Each structure stands twice: as structure tokens, then as C-alpha cells.
Amino acid sequence: MHIIIQARMTSTRLPRKVMLPLCGKTVLEVLVDRIKKYKDNIIIATTNDGSEEPIVNLCKKSNIKYFQGSMDNVLERYYLSAKEFGAGNKDVIVRITSDCPLIDVSILERVVSFFKEGGYDYASNRIDRTVPVGLDVEVFNFSVLKDAYKKATLGYEREHVTPYIYLTKKDKYRIGSFLDATDNSKYRLTLDEESDYLAIKEVYRKFNNRTNFDYDSLIKMLESNSYIYDINSNVCQKQVV
């Protein structure tokens, strides 16, 4: 299994967001810490535009695999990242993004299990959302990623990696939509705007800046502290198309 995390320094809405301080570390370090059980599987797919040095230095310091590729063609960057580290056609690729410092390892594992047990070509928890924005996990085999890389032509397909699979060619692939038992999709725990950063910092403050709390504890805390939802509830999620 390869867990590929896209990360860049040039976010338009919140520049350098992956390097913002969080829990005495950086956002990117906290994300990795949340899934440290699979640290050896992680590849940071960063850019080669000259801005990525802080990310590369962090990867070197933390002994995390990384790949530098196109800033705009993220699909190509993902494909080449997996290929660089020896992915074979049947290898499982897990896609998460660096603006999700509250990613949950149990959710990741459940989506991967759902993908494998269902025999899907692609599975995710974001098509029919039941988890908060910011806990997104997409799973597919390298052969499917390679197919998308070779055949996707539209700009949004290459910028967002997977739309060719679950939108353009959804009738070609077997698509699985992971559903949790409880709908917690109203919560926004991703990092795009300053108010998102404030909300995420408040979540971690409630856990005394620990990173080892589980999904159930997170949801219980959010239910008991409704003001956190209000911090960034006015932020509109960027749409793929």
C-alpha cells in the first residue's frame, strides 16, 4: 500500500498552509503523526516549481519518502510518485491531501477494507459524504491510476487526480461509496481559509494538543462544543467542477 499525500507551498487561499504551526509542529507533521502507523507507506507528492524546499527539508528530517513533480498536473505527480517507489498494477494507492491534519487512521483503514472486500476499482468516503470534510480518503489500484494518467485530458481531471475515475468514466469502473453509520458531514475540518485554521487549532486545544485521539472522541468533542462548528461554517468548499 502506498499512501500518497499531495502537498505544496503555493495555496492561493492560505499560502504555506502545510507549514503553519500546529501542536508545536507543522500542519504536515501533525497529519503524518495522525497516521504514523503507516509512516513507511507514506509518499509526499510535492512540486518542482522552486517553492517546495520547506516540504522537502521536512521530509528529509523526518525520513519520509517524497517526490517532486508538476504543480498543475497533480494526476501526473501522483502517478510518477507511485511509479518512483515501485508501485505495481495491483498495489493499493491511498490518496489524502495535506490540508487534512485531522485525518483519522481508523477511517483510512475502514475505507481500504471496504475497497478490498467490495472488489472495487475505486472507493472513497467523499461521494456520498457521511464524515466531516477533511477526513477524505480515496482508494484505488495503481493500474486504475495509470489508466487515468494515460487517458485523462481535461484540466480538472489532471488538477484533481481522480475525477476521470469517479466522474468521467464512472460507468467503466466499479465505484464504491463508503458510508458511516452516522452522518457527521456537517463538520468542516479541512484547511483552506484562516477560519479553518482557527477551528482546527481549537479542536487540538480541546485535546491538549495531543494527536492520538480517535474518531469517536473527535465527534463527541465536537457535539459537546458546538461553537467550534460556527468558527468556519461560512466557508464554502471548493468544487471539483
DSSP per-residue string spanning 18-81: GGSEETTEEHHHHHHHHTGGGGGGEEEEEE-SS--HHHHHHHHHHT-EEEEE-SS-HHHHHHHH
* Confidence at residue 165, expressed as pLDDT on a 0 to 100 scale: 96
* Confidence at residue 2, expressed as pLDDT on a 0 to 100 scale: 98
* Confidence at residue 240, expressed as pLDDT on a 0 to 100 scale: 58
pLDDT digit string (tens) for the chain, length 241 residues: 999 999 999 988 888 999 999 999 999 999 999 999 999 999 999 999 999 999 999 999 999 999 999 999 999 999 999 999 999 999 999 999 999 999 999 999 999 999 999 999 999 999 999 999 999 999 999 999 999 999 999 999 999 999 999 999 999 999 999 999 999 999 999 999 999 999 999 999 999 999 999 999 999 999 999 999 999 998 876 665 5
* Confidence at residue 11, expressed as pLDDT on a 0 to 100 scale: 84
Contact 132, 125 (CB under 8 A): no
Q: Which amino acid is residue 189, in one-letter code?
A: L
Contact 15, 54 (CB under 8 A): no
Cα distance between residue 216 and residue 157, in whole Å: 34
* Confidence at residue 238, expressed as pLDDT on a 0 to 100 scale: 65
* Confidence at residue 103, expressed as pLDDT on a 0 to 100 scale: 97
Q: Is 218 exposed, middle or buried (0-12, 13-18, 19+ CB in 10 A)?
A: buried
2-192 is classed CATH 3.90.550.10? yes
Among 31, 38, 36, 40, CA closest to 6:
31
- 123 phi and psi, to 5 degrees? -140, 145
Going by DSSP bridges, is the β-strand pair 138-141/122-124 parallel, antiparallel, or unpaired?
Answer: antiparallel
As given in the structure block, the three cell numbers for residue 98 are: 495535506
* Confidence at residue 239, expressed as pLDDT on a 0 to 100 scale: 63
217, 104, 191, 138 alpha-carbon torsion, rounded to 10°: -140
* Confidence at residue 237, expressed as pLDDT on a 0 to 100 scale: 66
* 180: three-class secondary structure by DSSP: coil
As given in the structure block, the three cell numbers for residue 93 are: 494507492
pTM of the model: 0.94
DSSP 17: G
Non-local (6+) Cβ contacts of 66 within 8 A are: 43, 44, 45, 46, 55, 56, 59
Q: Where are the domains of the chain?
A: 2-192
* Confidence at residue 12, expressed as pLDDT on a 0 to 100 scale: 80
Q: How far is CA 159 from the centre of its chain?
A: 14
Q: Is 170 exposed, middle or buried (0-12, 13-18, 19+ CB in 10 A)?
A: middle
